[in-house]
């Protein structure tokens, strides 16, 4: 793979620079998307990539002070090794090892896998093999090959990256990378090795071969092999396997080996008859897919020294999560409390001793919401949210403690307004030795002490209407750490802050509290932080294409990279946050985008895009593009002379459609009273739940000249009684987004009153419908129903069905097609454009 050096020069401004006007479709291809990747350990280098729809992507590495840069065409999977080396993969399968200080580059071809060892001092490359494995190469900092191991198919680094376990010609060995020699040959017999897993301290590892499991203790230099024939409790006709739900693992103490077991699936003779019984726990399609839970791999545990084995999961408890330390496992059966009528049943959680197999029920009929339960970093506690409080369960003492009753604070999400149970924002993390757990309320972060001492609110977001959230360590640094999930309060915390108009980052320390890093009226995100305090983050607004900014302190910062610099050559729109009230007096916001080249003396058409709450998008940059999975693009529309409005909607349970109508019309009226928008040229656009809202709104008002509705519901009754993803669809109405709050049979009139199909006769608005005929979220027959109703009523309507597409269009040709058609539809109805051929009726 070739690379080249770029020296960024500060160009002088061009006098008399000509603005070309709004961007056109032919120029969309000039726009790229920047991705922030990694900051080197001491903040001298930053990697980022720029992706184009043409596929001509480039990975860059730039010095944060001199701006010296390296570019890797088609580069991906880039990583820093120490401070002066960078490695990445090319489009041809090769690997580039770049010396950032000297500029020297080595390229290695036909590489199937790579990793960095010895804390960045060595690059390990596995070359492609021809069935028998390839050479594993160790590359030193000077680019020279210092280690060659032939015929390798599998390798794994120890946790400290100083040792390597690998097979060579089918024989498993351990190599000390510091001295570059084999220290242990595990087995003289050649085997087909599939997986390797290290003990957390690196003193042993387990391996998976074709059909069995082995364990090797480095301290004892002793190998143990699992023999299924010695254990009558090993499931008959089952196979040892590697699976994401039952991973190969060694316990922290090295005494237990966990691995996956795949049972034989039962043979079912086809009868040609499906039996659906209302007393069944789950619907027939889901039951048939489970095959008595045999399709899900189970977890077994083996005690090599004791030569004992037992199953951790089985058909009774098919789901598990090992607690840190692996002494305990949390078990459940997600369908035990079926049948019920929410999307998922409540859960009975059992705690199992992984050594004895004894289990006890610790939470009964508990919420299936994973934000309401969390396991401590050392595995001593389980925190859970119940009865509007955070509780703590002590695993060892089998006792419970309420952590929040004395605070007087609600920890539910106040902005969540769907039907069903209240939501929480969850757990931020646990401190060292499980002394504290940090949890969120709607705005703030609370420190709850596990010994029952008074809670402490770390932030003051509620007063400022600012939401503070913890930035996890692995999100801002690439450094490996054995306790990366543990919070060290003495080192401080990195927090993200977001309000209605601002965003940014703060640090929190016990001594100083909150200290601002960056917080401004732009969208700030993607922070990376080095060991010496250098930070890099992205900055954007609708009128500002994303920048990469490096900051050394609060007063010293600069732009490291400006994406899409060509934007300055074109007229571009801008945005603002509007405020309005619905008929209930609730204050809401909306994101309003102005046409490119806006002239206050002119009158413009406007497209209103709706869903639930969308005002957060007001400061997000949007590339113009034809590749839109919903056919909607803000920048396309503003470039074509449209205002675009994204209003927030607040809901009243049982009045879902009416709430959308109320809030959307209030937002539109606010814009009409203050902006140069032509009230006779308003368009409405919605997809999914927004498609439903669009369908409903046009049955109640003629405010909109035209509308486009994608994958939307039309009939609450038929949709309630449909099957989606092997589940009854009614949960969406009783417990979730459709916000009915009651069953169809306890609120039949509500369902009628919120169904667009009920009022189809009142529609005067031409509407374009579209859906994918493989939609797993909203049955495309909802669109067909609406189309047939409008056809019978002789209302103007066109339905587009995209073959093989799901809820959002994924095929490029379909994305382009839909984008063109939505554009032509709005141009025809809102601008008086030419009627496209596809709107003409057939002439059969």
Q: What is the CATH number of the domain that holds 620?
A: 3.40.50.1820
The gap from C-alpha 344 to its chain's centroid, in whole angstroms, comes to 21
Q: What percent of the chain has pLDDT over 90?
A: 91
Residue 484's pLDDT band (boundaries 50, 70, 90)? low
Q: In this structure, is residue 169 part of a structural domain?
A: no
Mean per-residue pLDDT for 181-203?
92
Q: In this structure, is residue 616 part of a structural domain?
A: yes
Would the pLDDT of 7 be above 90? no
- Please, what's the b/e burial string for 704-735 (b: 16 or more CB within 10 A of its CB; e: otherwise)? bbbbbbbbbbbbbebbbebebeebbbbbbbbb
Give the integer Cα–Cα distance in Å for 844 and 835.
Answer: 20
Give the integer Cα–Cα distance in Å for 231 and 673.
Answer: 79
Q: What is the tally of structural domains in the chain? A: 1
CB-based contact 705:681 (threshold 8 Å)? yes
Name the residue among 654, 746, 650, 655 with its Cα closest to residue 700.
655
CB-based contact 281:335 (threshold 8 Å)? yes
Q: In this structure, is residue 786 part of a structural domain?
A: yes
Show the domain range for 708. Answer: 570-714+764-833
**Is residue 7 classed exposed, middle or buried when 0-12, 13-18 and 19+ CB atoms within 10 A define those classes?**
exposed
pLDDT digits (tens, 9 = 90+) for 206-249: 999 988 999 999 999 999 999 999 999 999 999 999 999 999 99
Q: What percent of the chain has pLDDT over 70?
A: 97
In degrees, rounded to 5, the angle at the alpha carbon of residue 315 between the alpha carbons of residues 312 and 317 is 55
Would the pLDDT of 3 be above 80? no
Residue 474's pLDDT band (boundaries 50, 70, 90)? confident
Residue 480's pLDDT band (boundaries 50, 70, 90)? low
Omega before residue 339 within 30° of 0, cis: yes
pLDDT digits (tens, 9 = 90+) for 97-107: 999 999 999 99
pLDDT at 189: 84
**DSSP letter at 220?**
T
Name the residue among 161, 189, 188, 187 with its Cα closest to residue 176.
161
Would the pLDDT of 5 be above 60? no
pLDDT digits (tens, 9 = 90+) for 283-310: 999 999 999 999 999 999 999 999 999 9
* Residues 6+ away with beta carbon under 8 Å from 418: 651, 735, 736, 737, 739
Integer CA distances (angstroms), 390 to 27, 373, 416, 424, 440, in order: 54, 9, 19, 10, 11
Q: In this structure, is residue 509 part of a structural domain?
A: no
Q: In this structure, is residue 622 part of a structural domain?
A: yes
Would the pLDDT of 15 be above 80? no
Residue 82's pLDDT band (boundaries 50, 70, 90)? confident
pLDDT at 9: 33
**DSSP letter at 780?**
T
More confident residue, 55 or 817: 817
The two structure tokens encoding residue 763: 């529609």
pLDDT digits (tens, 9 = 90+) for 572-595: 999 999 999 999 999 999 999 999
Would the pLDDT of 200 be above 80? yes
CB-based contact 528:537 (threshold 8 Å)? yes
pLDDT at 616: 96
What pairs with residue 98 in β-bridges?
86, 105
| Average pLDDT taken over every residue of the chain | 94
Sign (positive or negative) of CA dihedral 732, 737, 743, 749: negative
The two structure tokens encoding residue 747: 């609120």
CB-based contact 551:561 (threshold 8 Å)? no
pLDDT digits (tens, 9 = 90+) for 122-171: 999 999 987 778 999 999 988 889 999 999 999 999 999 999 999 999 99
CB-based contact 65:51 (threshold 8 Å)? no
Range ranked top by mean pLDDT from 127-141, 474-488, 813-827: 813-827
Q: In this structure, is residue 144 part of a structural domain?
A: no
pLDDT at 130: 77
Mean per-residue pLDDT for 758-779?
97
Q: In this structure, is residue 211 part of a structural domain?
A: no
pLDDT at 576: 97
Mean per-residue pLDDT for 520-542?
97
Angle, helices 689-700 vs 656-674, to 10°: value is: 70
Sign (positive or negative) of CA dihedral 64, 69, 73, 79: negative
* Residues 6+ away with beta carbon under 8 Å from 463: none
* Residues 6+ away with beta carbon under 8 Å from 551: 517, 518, 534, 535, 536, 537, 557
Residue whose pair of structure tokens reads 């990539």 in the numeric block: 49
Give the integer Cα–Cα distance in Å for 262 and 260.
Answer: 7
pLDDT digits (tens, 9 = 90+) for 828-842: 999 999 999 999 988
Mean per-residue pLDDT for 491-496?
96
Residue 478's pLDDT band (boundaries 50, 70, 90)? confident
């Amino acid at each position: 793979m070739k690379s080249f050096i770029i020296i960024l020069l500060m160009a002088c401004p061009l006098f008399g620079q000509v603005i070309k006007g709004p961007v056109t479709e032919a120029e969309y291809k000039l726009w790229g998307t920047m991705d922030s990747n990694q900051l080197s350990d001491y903040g001298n280098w930053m990697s980022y990539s720029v992706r184009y729809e043409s596929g001509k992507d480039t990975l860059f590495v730039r010095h944060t002070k001199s701006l010296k840069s390296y570019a890797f065409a088609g580069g991906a999977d880039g990583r820093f090794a120490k401070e002066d080396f960078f490695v990445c993969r090319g489009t041809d399968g090769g690997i580039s090892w770049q010396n950032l200080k000297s500029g020297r580059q080595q390229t290695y071809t036909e590489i199937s896998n790579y990793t960095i060892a010895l804390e960045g001092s060595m690059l390990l490359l596995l070359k492609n093999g021809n069935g028998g494995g390839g050479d594993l190469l160790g590359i030193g900092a000077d680019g020279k090959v210092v280690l060659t191991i032939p015929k390798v198919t599998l390798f794994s680094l120890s946790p400290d990256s100083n040792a390597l376990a690998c097979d060579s010609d089918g024989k498993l060995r351990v190599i000390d990378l510091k001295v570059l020699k084999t220290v242990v040959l595990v087995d003289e017999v050649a085997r087909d090795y599939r997986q390797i897993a290290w003990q957390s301290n690196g003193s042993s590892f387990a391996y998976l071969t074709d059909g069995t499991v082995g364990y090797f203790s480095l301290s004892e230099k002793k190998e143990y092999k699992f023999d299924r024939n010695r254990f009558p409790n090993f499931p008959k006709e089952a196979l040892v396997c590697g699976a994401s739900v039952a991973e190969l693992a060694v316990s922290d103490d090295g005494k237990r080996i966990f691995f996956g077991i795949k049972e034989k699936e039962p043979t079912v003779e086809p009868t040609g008859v499906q039996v659906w019984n209302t007393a069944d726990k789950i619907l027939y399609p889901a039951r048939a897919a489970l095959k008595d839970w045999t399709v899900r791999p189970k977890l077994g545990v083996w005690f090599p020294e004791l030569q004992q084995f037992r199953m951790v999961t089985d058909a009774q408890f098919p789901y598990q999560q090992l607690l840190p330390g692996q002494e305990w496992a949390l078990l459940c059966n997600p369908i035990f409390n079926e049948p019920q009528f929410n999307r998922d049943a409540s859960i009975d959680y059992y705690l199992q001793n992984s050594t004895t197999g004894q289990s006890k029920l610790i939470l009964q009929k508990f919420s299936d919401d994973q934000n309401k339960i969390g396991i401590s970093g050392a595995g001593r506690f389980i925190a859970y949210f119940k009865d509007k409080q955070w509780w703590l369960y002590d695993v060892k003492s089998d006792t419970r403690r309420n952590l929040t009753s004395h605070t007087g604070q609600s920890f539910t999400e106040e902005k969540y307004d769907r039907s069903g149970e209240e939501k929480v924002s969850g757990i931020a993390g646990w401190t060292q030795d499980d002394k504290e757990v940090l949890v969120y309320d709607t705005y703030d972060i609370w420190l709850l002490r596990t010994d029952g001492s008074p809670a402490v609110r770390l932030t003051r977001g509620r007063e400022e209407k600012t939401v503070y959230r913890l930035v996890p360590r692995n999100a801002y640094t690439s450094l490996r750490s054995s306790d990366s999930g543990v919070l060290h309060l003495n080192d401080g915390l990195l927090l993200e802050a977001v309000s209605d108009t601002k965003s940014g980052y703060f640090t929190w320390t016990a001594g100083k509290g909150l200290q601002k890093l960056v917080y401004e009226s732009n969208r700030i995100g993607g922070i990376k932080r080095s060991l010496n305090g250098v930070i890099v983050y992205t900055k954007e607004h609708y009128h500002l294409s994303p920048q990469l900014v490096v900051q050394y302190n609060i007063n010293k910062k600069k732009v490291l990279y400006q994406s899409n610099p060509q934007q300055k050559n074109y007229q571009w729109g801008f945005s603002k946050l509007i405020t309005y009230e619905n008929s209930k007096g609730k204050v809401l916001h909306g994101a309003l985008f102005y046409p490119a080249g806006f002239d206050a003396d002119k009158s413009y058409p406007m497209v209103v895009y709706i869903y639930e709450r969308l005002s957060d998008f007001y400061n997000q940059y949007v590339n113009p593009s034809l590749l839109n999975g919903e056919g909607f693009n803000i920048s396309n529309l503003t470039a074509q002379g449209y205002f675009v409005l994204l209003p927030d909607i607040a809901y009243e349970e049982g009045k879902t459609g009416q709430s959308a109508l109320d809030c959307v019309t209030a937002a539109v009226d606010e814009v009409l009273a203050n902006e140069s928008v032509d009230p006779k040229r308003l368009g409405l656009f919605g997809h999914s739940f927004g498609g439903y809202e669009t369908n409903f709104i046009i049955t109640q008002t003629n405010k909109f000249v035209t509308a486009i509705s994608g994958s939307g519901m039309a009939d609450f009754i038929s949709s309630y009684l449909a099957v989606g993803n092997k589940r009854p669809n009614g949960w969406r109405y009783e417990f979730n987004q459709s916000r009915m709050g009651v069953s169809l049979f306890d609120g039949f009139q509500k369902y009628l009153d919120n169904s667009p199909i009920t009022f189809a006769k009142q529609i005067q608005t031409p509407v374009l419908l579209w859906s994918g005929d493989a939609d797993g979220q909203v049955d495309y027959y909802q669109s067909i129903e609406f189309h047939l109703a409008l056809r019978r009523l002789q209302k103007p309507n066109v339905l587009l069905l995209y073959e093989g597409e799901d809820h959002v269009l994924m095929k490029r040709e379909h994305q382009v097609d839909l984008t063109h058609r939505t554009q032509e539809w709005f141009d025809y109805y809102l601008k008086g454009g030419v009627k496209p051929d596809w709107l003409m009726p057939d002439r059969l």
